Chain A
Amino acid sequence: MPARLPRPGRPAGGRSRRVLHALRTPIGATAAAMMALVALTAIVAPILWTDRANAHETASILAGPSAEHWIGTDAAGRDLFFRVLVATRLSVLLALGSTGIAVGIGLLLGTAPVLVGGWVSRAVTWFVGIAVAFPGFLLALFFAVIFGAGQTAAAFAIGLAGAPTFARLCQTLTGGIMNRDYVAAARIGGVSKLRLLTRHILPNIAEPLIVNATIGAGGVLLSFAGLSFLGLGVSAPAYDWGRLMYEGLSGIYIHPVAALAPGLAVMIAGMAFNLVGESAARALGLAALGELVPTHRLRRPAPLAAPMGSDEPDDGAVLRVRDLTVAFPTPAGPIHPVRGISFAVPAGGAVGLVGESGSGKSLTALAVAQLIEAPGEVGASELTFAGEAILGGDPRAHRHLLGTSLAMVFQDPMTSLNPTMRIGWQLAEVVREHGGASRQEGWERAVERLSAVRIADAPRRAHAYPHEFSGGMRQRAMIGMGVMGSPRLIIADEPTTALDVTVQEQVLDLLGSIRAADGVALLLISHDVSVVATVCDRVLVMYAGRIVEELAVDRLYGGARHPYTRLLVAAVPDMDTDLATPLPTIPGRPAPVSAIAQGCAFAARCPLADAVCRETDPEMVDDGRGSRVACWHAGEPFPDDAVPTVAVPVAVPQGESRGNAGGFAAADAGAAGAADCPVAGSPLAGSPTPTPEGGSA
C-alpha cells in the first residue's frame, strides 16, 4: 500500500467542499455506495438473520444452490447465504479493531520523538525502520502463533504486524510538520511538548492518517480472512468470512460457491474501504509516496528551425494579443481574472509585465502559452504568435508551434525539474523528444547549453541531480532547457522572486544576454518594478485583470502617469530612499477579481479618485508616442494630504515618537534614536559597535 502524503503547498480549507465534490465523481459515488452497503449489512444482518444462519437443516447438508438456499448449505446444513451476511459484522469489526491497534501503536511510536528526545527517540526510529522491513503477513502469522488461536489474539497479531507501517507513516508526517516554522515559533514561544503534539501535530497529521487507515483497513480485512482461513483466527462457533472460507475449503470441488462466496464478500468490503480511502485522498489532495513530485505544465521547445515569418505582419511583433480574456466558472457565477488586455512583444524585444499578486499576470502568460486548462476559458479577438493565429483552428498545429518556439520559465524551477533524473538528461530529452536527436547529440547539446547559461564545469555538472544545484543554478538550468531549441519568445514568470539579489542579478543578466545573442524576445513578469526595469525596454502595468499603463522603461521613474504605476515604483526602497519618512505604500488591498466594482478598479485605493472615477471605468488612451494609460487623472500630482506616503493607518496613539519614527532608523550614531527611544536612557549604553573587535575574517 503506497502511503498517501499531503502534497506540498496545498492550501488548507474548503475540505468538506472538496469531499462533497468527490462524492459526485463516479468513483467517489461507487465507493460511498459500497461502503454504505457494507455498513448496513454489518449492522442489520446479525439482527435479522442470525437464527436463519444458525438453523441446522439435516435434510440438506452440503447442498448446492437452490431456490431455498441461494448459495447452498454447509456441512452442518446451515444456509451459507445468510452466514456470509451475518459474518459481515464480525469481519468488519475485527478489521477495524486491528486497524485501530495498528494506528494506535503506530501513533505512539511515530510521535514518540516529539516527546522524548535523544537516544530513546533514535532507538525508536531505528526499531521502526527494522520492523517495517518485515513482510506484514509473516509478522502477523508469527504473532498469531505466539498468541494462540482466537479472535482477540488474531486482532492483536494483525494489529501489531500493521503497526510498523503506521509508525513509519506517523514519523514521516510528524517530521514534515516538525519542520514547519509554526512549530518552531511555538517552541520558541515556550509551548510545551505535549501541547505541541496535541495542538499542532495531531490535527495536522490526522487527515492523511485517517485516509491511510481507511485504505489499510481493506488490507487488514484480507489478512484476517487469511488467518481465519488458516485456522488461526476466529474459531467456532463464531465465524467470520475467513472462517467460512476455511469451512468451505473441504468441499471446494463438489461445492465451490461455499468457499467463493465469503471470498467475494471479503473482496467487496476490502474494495469499499480502499476506494473510500483513495477518493478521500484524492479529494483532500494527498499524493501517493511515489508521485510526490508535482508534475508541471512545462513546455519544452525542440531544436527545430522556427518557422520564419514570411506571413508575419510588418510590425515585426512575435506576439500580438488583442482583447484577451480569461474566465473561470465559480459557484457564484463566472469570474474574469483577465479582462480584455491588448499588447504586443516585438521580435527580439523585452517587455515587462508588472503588478501585485493576483492581478492576472500569470494567467496572461498561461493563456498566451495555451496552458489554461478547462474549465478555464480563454477569449481574444487576436492571439498571434510568430505570425500564426493560435486561438481556434487545429490545436495540434498550435501545440507544435508553441512547443518549438516558446519557452516558459517559472518561479520555482524545482517544480519543473524531475528530481530523479540527471539535469543533463532532462535537457537532452527535450531535443530527443521533438528533434529526434541521438542520445549522444542530445547530451552534447545539453552540456553546451548548460555552459551557455554559465553553469561552471558543465560537462561534470550535467551529471548532477536537481537537488544538488543551488536555487540560482536550477533557474539557470531551466533557462538552459528553454533554449535547447531556438525559441522566438521566452516567457519568464517571476523567475527571480525566490532568489537572492546577487543570484537574481545573474539570472536577469543571463536572460538579457540570451536575448542579445539569439534575438529571442522576452516577456518578463514580476511584482517588482525594479526587476523589470533592469532588463526590459517596455513595461506593461497590470491591475485587476487590465493593463492600466504601458510605457517605455526610461519613463518609469519620473515619467509614469498612472497613479498605480507611480505608487508601485515608489514602494520599492532603494539605496536613495529617504530614511526620514515612512515608505510609501499602496493603501488597501488589490481588488478581488470576484467583485470588481463599477468604475475604475483602482478607485478604492487611489489618492486621485473622484466621483467620475467611481462611476466610469477610464478607457485606454494612446498618447501617440508609444505610451498609453487608462486613468481620468493621468499624471496629475497627488494631493499632499491624501498621503499615499502614509504607510499604515495609525491606530495607536503615537505621541511625539510617531513623527520621529523615520529619523530613528536613520540615526547613524543614535542621537535621534536616543531622543525618541522610550525606554533606554541611551540606546548606546552597551556598546558603540555591533561587533566587538576581531569579529571579521
Chain B
Amino acid sequence: MSRLDFTDVTVRFGSGRGAIVAVDGATLSVPEGRIVGLVGESGSGKSTLARAAVGLVPLHSGAIALDGQPIPRHGPRRLQMVFQDPNSSLDPRMTVEESIGEVARFPANRAERRAEVARLLDLVHLDQSHATAYPAQLSGGQRQRVALARALAGRPDVIIADEITSSLDVSIQGTVLNLVRELQAELGLSMLFISHNLAVVRYVASLVAVMYRGQIVEHGPTEAVLGHPDHPYTRRLLAAIPTRSQRKPTP
C-alpha cells in the first residue's frame, strides 16, 4: 500500500486581485494503510484539496506525492475518489456493470470484466442482480456502494472519500461506514475520509486533520484531537454535534 503526502499545497481560483485562495499552504499525510479523517465546514477547502490530488483542479504551488513520487496523470490511476452525491456521481444512462467495468483495470475481455465486476459487487455487499440495474433503480445507499466499487475497480492504493455519507439517511449511513471500515481492514487501503461530521470521522478514522479557511489548523490521532482540541474551530465543531446529553433547554 501507499502513502499520500500533501506538502504546502495552495490552490487558487481566478487570478489577480479577485483570486480566491481555496487551499492555503496545506500540509498533510495519509500514512500507509490508515484512514485519515479530514473535517471542516463547507467552503473550508476540503473538497478542493481532494480534487487537487486526483488532478481535477491544478495546483498553484506545493506538491502532492504518492510514495514520494509525483502522481502519474496517465495510465492506471493509483488514487481514486468517491463523491458525496451518488445521484450525480453515476451516469444515469449506464448500468452498474458498465460504470464499474469502465474503470476496471485488468480485464482483457468481456468474461473477465464480468467476473471482475462480480468480485467488486461482492466486496461492497451488493447482490449480483444489481449489475444490470440503472442508478435510478437503486437506493441512495446502494448507489454509494456502486460508487465505492467503481473506485475499487481501479485497484487503487489510496482512496479519497469526499463526504460520502452526507447525502444519505442516517439509517443508511451506518452501513456505508461499516463497509468503509471493513474494506480498509480487508484491503489495507489508505484513505482520506472527508466529512463535516466529527462523530462519523471519529468512528472510521484513526487520525484526523481539521481544516479551516484553507489551512490545516490541527491534526493528530483522532482520540487526542477530539479529546483535547487546541484550535477554537475544532472546539466549535465538537460543540455543534447533537448528542443525547446536550439538550437545549426549552421554554
Give me the interface of A with B, judged by CB distance under 8 Å. 11-13, 180-182, 184-191, 195, 199-200, 203-204, 348, 350, 356-357, 470-471, 500-505, 508-509, 512, 515-516, 527-531, 533-535, 537, 553-554, 556-557, 567-568, 571-577, 579, 582-586, 589, 647-652, 654, 657-658, 660-662, 664-670, 673, 676-680, 683-687, 689-692, 694-697
Pair A574/B177 contact, Cβ less than 8 Å = no
Interface residues of B in 18-59 (CB under 8 A from A): 24-36, 41-43, 51, 54-56
Pair A696/B178 contact, Cβ less than 8 Å = no
- 6 closest Cβ pairs, A-B complex: A189-B103, A679-B188, A12-B92, A647-B178, A683-B33, A181-B89
9 new A-B contacts, CB < 8 A, other than A652-B123, A665-B181, A691-B29, are A13-B92, A184-B83, A185-B150, A501-B197, A573-B200, A665-B205, A689-B219, A689-B221, A691-B28
| Residues from chain A with Cβ under 8 Å of B186 in the complex | 652, 654, 657, 678
CB of B95 closer than 8 Å to a CB of A = no
CB of B15 closer than 8 Å to a CB of A = no
Q: Which of A504, A648, A673, A694 contacts B179 (CB 8 A)?
A: A648
Question: Which B-chain residue is minimally distant from A354 (CB atoms)?
Answer: B170
Smallest distance from the beta carbon of B64 to chain A beta carbons, Å?
A: 14
Q: Which of A186, A500, A557, A647 contacts B174 (CB 8 A)?
A: A647
| Residues from chain A with Cβ under 8 Å of B112 in the complex | none
Bound together, the chains give a CA A673 to CA B1 distance in angstroms of: 14
Smallest distance from the beta carbon of B165 to chain A beta carbons, Å?
A: 10
CB of B250 closer than 8 Å to a CB of A = yes
Pair B33/A680 contact, Cβ less than 8 Å = yes
30 A-B residue pairs with CB within 8 Å: A13-B134, A182-B90, A185-B89, A187-B55, A188-B54, A188-B55, A190-B76, A190-B77, A199-B102, A500-B196, A502-B196, A509-B248, A516-B251, A527-B170, A530-B242, A534-B242, A568-B171, A571-B170, A583-B174, A652-B125, A661-B178, A664-B206, A679-B187, A680-B188, A685-B31, A689-B207, A690-B208, A690-B209, A695-B216, A695-B219
Question: Which B-chain residue is minimally distant from A655 (CB atoms)?
Answer: B186
Smallest distance from the beta carbon of B117 to chain A beta carbons, Å?
A: 14
Bound together, the chains give a CA A504 to CA B240 distance in angstroms of: 8
| Residues from chain A with Cβ under 8 Å of B247 in the complex | 533-534, 553-554
Interface residues of B in 148-204 (CB under 8 A from A): 150-151, 153-154, 169-175, 177-179, 181-182, 184-188, 196-200, 202-204
Smallest distance from the beta carbon of A15 to chain B beta carbons, Å?
A: 11
Q: Which of B33, B216, B241 contacts A696 (CB 8 A)?
A: B216
| Residues from chain A with Cβ under 8 Å of B63 in the complex | none
Pair B125/A184 contact, Cβ less than 8 Å = no
Smallest distance from the beta carbon of B231 to chain A beta carbons, Å?
A: 8
Knowing A184-B56, A187-B56, A575-B202 touch, does A683 contact B91 (C-beta < 8 A)?
Answer: no
Knowing A504-B240, A647-B175, A695-B216 touch, does A686 contact B197 (C-beta < 8 A)?
Answer: no
Pair A199/B94 contact, Cβ less than 8 Å = yes
Smallest distance from the beta carbon of A567 to chain B beta carbons, Å?
A: 8
Smallest distance from the beta carbon of A500 to chain B beta carbons, Å?
A: 5
Bound together, the chains give a CA A690 to CA B190 distance in angstroms of: 12
Q: Which of B90, B92, B171 contacts A585 (CB 8 A)?
A: B171
Knowing A573-B177, A690-B30 touch, does A188 contact B80 (C-beta < 8 A)?
Answer: yes
CB of B10 closer than 8 Å to a CB of A = no
| Residues from chain A with Cβ under 8 Å of B154 in the complex | 188-190
Pair A575/B243 contact, Cβ less than 8 Å = yes
Question: Which B-chain residue is minimally distant from A206 (CB atoms)?
Answer: B93
Knowing A185-B147, A690-B219, A695-B27 touch, does A664 contact B199 (C-beta < 8 A)?
Answer: no
Pair B207/A356 contact, Cβ less than 8 Å = no
| Residues from chain B with Cβ under 8 Å of A357 in the complex | 140, 169
Bound together, the chains give a CA A69 to CA B126 distance in angstroms of: 72
Q: Which of B26, B122, B236 contacts A502 (CB 8 A)?
A: B236
Pair A691/B216 contact, Cβ less than 8 Å = yes
Pair B206/A665 contact, Cβ less than 8 Å = yes
Knowing A191-B102, A679-B33 touch, does A651 contact B122 (C-beta < 8 A)?
Answer: yes
Knowing A534-B242, A696-B217 touch, does A185 contact B177 (C-beta < 8 A)?
Answer: no
Question: Which A-chain residue is minimally distant from B134 (CB atoms)?
Answer: A13
Pair B171/A527 contact, Cβ less than 8 Å = yes
Knowing A586-B171, A668-B222 touch, does A687 contact B3 (C-beta < 8 A)?
Answer: yes
Bound together, the chains give a CA A679 to CA B248 distance in angstroms of: 47
Pair B88/A182 contact, Cβ less than 8 Å = yes
Bound together, the chains give a CA A581 to CA B193 distance in angstroms of: 19
Knowing A350-B250, A500-B196, A583-B178 touch, does A690 contact B31 (C-beta < 8 A)?
Answer: yes
Pair B81/A575 contact, Cβ less than 8 Å = no
Q: Which of B123, B125, B218, B248 contacts A512 (CB 8 A)?
A: B248
CB of B96 closer than 8 Å to a CB of A = no
Pair A585/B134 contact, Cβ less than 8 Å = no
| Residues from chain B with Cβ under 8 Å of A515 in the complex | 251
Bound together, the chains give a CA A654 to CA B122 distance in angstroms of: 12
Q: Which of A182, A501, A572, A654 contacts B170 (CB 8 A)?
A: A572
Knowing A189-B80, A501-B197 touch, does A533 contact B244 (C-beta < 8 A)?
Answer: yes
Pair B32/A683 contact, Cβ less than 8 Å = yes
| Residues from chain B with Cβ under 8 Å of A694 in the complex | 27
Smallest distance from the beta carbon of B239 to chain A beta carbons, Å?
A: 8
Bound together, the chains give a CA A70 to CA B28 distance in angstroms of: 85
Pair A575/B31 contact, Cβ less than 8 Å = no
Pair B199/A577 contact, Cβ less than 8 Å = yes
| Residues from chain A with Cβ under 8 Å of B122 in the complex | 651-652
Smallest distance from the beta carbon of A230 to chain B beta carbons, Å?
A: 44
Bound together, the chains give a CA A195 to CA B91 distance in angstroms of: 13
Smallest distance from the beta carbon of A466 to chain B beta carbons, Å?
A: 16
Pair B173/A571 contact, Cβ less than 8 Å = yes
Question: Which A-chain residue is minimally distant from B92 (CB atoms)?
Answer: A12
Pair A685/B102 contact, Cβ less than 8 Å = no
Knowing A583-B177, A676-B185, A687-B29 touch, does A574 contact B248 (C-beta < 8 A)?
Answer: no
Knowing A189-B153, A585-B175 touch, does A661 contact B219 (C-beta < 8 A)?
Answer: no
Smallest distance from the beta carbon of A626 to chain B beta carbons, Å?
A: 15
Knowing A665-B203, A696-B217 touch, does A502 contact B41 (C-beta < 8 A)?
Answer: yes
**B25, B55, B90, B221: which has the most chain A beta carbons within 10 Å?**
B221
Smallest distance from the beta carbon of B156 to chain A beta carbons, Å?
A: 9
Pair A204/B29 contact, Cβ less than 8 Å = no
Smallest distance from the beta carbon of A186 to chain B beta carbons, Å?
A: 7
Smallest distance from the beta carbon of A133 to chain B beta carbons, Å?
A: 25
Question: Which B-chain residue is minimally distant from A558 (CB atoms)?
Answer: B244
| Residues from chain B with Cβ under 8 Å of A203 in the complex | 93
